[in-house]
Amino acid sequence: MLKEQLAEYLHRYHHGAENTVTSRMLEHAFHISGKELRDLVNALRREGIPIASDQSGYFYAKTEAEVRLTIRHMKSRISGISAAIAGLKRSLTVFDDTQIRLPLEGGDDS
């Protein structure tokens, strides 16, 4: 229900890129956290509701171009996340524990 209310609110009051609303304002208006808002927006987008966003905030897309710009922005975020994952995978080599570790001589009291 909250999801539908959010979609209706954005459609009615924030239609088009010239009418963006910040996530902070939406969080306050709907009494939800940032994560809850992102989850709702994600669910709406998965259902094909054209909730767009830019650096200024969220809005209900008025044009195809607004949707395409949002898609382009999301794809660039995917690229950045993929690069971060690759870097983290490379960092795993410092945790390589497949080598046999022998106790140091004299370091074991037994």
Q: State the angle between helix axes of 23-30 and 2-13 in degrees (0 to 180), rounded to the nearest 10.
A: 130
51-102 pLDDT tens trace: 999 999 999 999 999 999 999 999 999 999 999 999 999 998 888 666 665 6
Q: State the angle between helix axes of 34-46 and 2-13 in degrees (0 to 180), rounded to the nearest 10.
A: 80
Reference 66, options 1, 17, 13, 108; nearest CA is 17
State the chain's mean pLDDT as an integer: 92
Token pair in block for residue 37: 């808002």
pLDDT at position 110: 45
Percent of the chain scored above 90 by pLDDT? 82
Question: What are the residues facing 54 on neighbouring strands?
Answer: 57
CB atoms within 10 A of CB 54: 13
Q: What is the mean pLDDT of residues 30-46?
A: 98
DSSP result, 7-64: HHHHHHH-BSGGG-B-HHHHHHHHT--HHHHHHHHHHHHHTT--EEEETTEEEE--SH
Q: What is the pTM of this model?
A: 0.79
Q: Which CATH architecture has domain 2-92?
A: Orthogonal Bundle (1.10)
Q: Is residue 54 within 8 Å of residue 69, measured between CB atoms?
A: yes
Q: CA end-to-end span of the chain, whole Å?
A: 66
For the chain, domain boundaries: 2-92
